[in-house]
């Protein structure tokens, strides 16, 4: 089943550029989601403090994961010898 889904998205073997677009898209999604969660958490009303703290924590983790994926992929591309 997973190979069938892969064929739907990539009918041929993806090129390095297509992989790069996919990685940067995932990275940007994590970063944007993290920023949005942090902003919503900071602006939450005082009566929802526990929920706001949880949302800020998830937002910080999401932002960190997005930055780590981007930095890791950038470093990988710099260290690979084409």
pLDDT digits (tens, 9 = 90+) for 3-62: 667 677 767 877 888 888 999 999 999 999 999 999 999 999 999 999 999 999 999 999
- CB of 23 within 8 A of CB of 30? no
pLDDT value at position 25?
95
Tell me the pTM.
Answer: 0.80
pLDDT band at 80 (very low <50, low <70, confident <90, very high): confident
Q: How far, in Å, CA of 31 to CA of 5, rounded?
A: 26
Q: How far, in Å, CA of 75 to CA of 82, rounded?
A: 14
pLDDT value at position 6?
67
- CB of 10 within 8 A of CB of 21? no
Q: How far, in Å, CA of 69 to CA of 56, rounded?
A: 20
Q: How far, in Å, CA of 62 to CA of 52, rounded?
A: 15
pLDDT value at position 24?
94
């Amino acid at each position: 089943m997973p190979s069938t889904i892969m064929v739907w998205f990539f009918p041929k073997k993806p090129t390095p550029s297509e992989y790069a677009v996919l990685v940067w898209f995932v990275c940007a999604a994590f970063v944007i989601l993290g920023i949005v969660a942090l902003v919503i958490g900071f602006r939450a009303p005082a009566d929802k403090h526990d929920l706001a703290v949880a949302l800020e924590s998830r937002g910080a983790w999401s932002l960190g994961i997005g930055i780590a994926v981007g930095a890791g992929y950038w470093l990988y591309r710099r260290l690979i010898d084409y």
